[in-house]
Amino acid sequence: MAGGRTKQAVMVGDTHTDVLTAQNAGIPVVAMDLGYSDIRVEKFEPDRVISSFDDLYSEAAVLVS
């Protein structure tokens, strides 16, 4: 992990690949529901789903606290 701390990491993405990458790495994932995916990101079971970057900090903070 290039010296990173998984306990303090959060993946942010908008595709199935993004969600799977985070899940496979064992880190929480916040999915944006306004991305390029034809399938609703909720189906991929991310930890959180947001519609605005304004919500990113508060949602990510919950996941790493």
| 1 domain-assigned | no
In this structure, is residue 23 part of a structural domain? Answer: yes
- Do 50 and 10 touch, CB atoms closer than 8 A? no
| Number of domains the chain is built from | 1
Structural domain that includes position 24: 6-64
The domain that holds 51 is classified in CATH as 3.40.50.1000
Q: Give the model confidence (pLDDT) of 11-65 as tens digits.
A: 999 999 999 999 999 999 999 998 778 899 999 999 999 999 999 999 999 999 8
53-62 LR contacts (CB < 8 Å, sep 24+): 56/12, 56/30, 59/30, 60/10, 60/12, 60/28, 60/30
Q: What is the pTM of this model?
A: 0.88
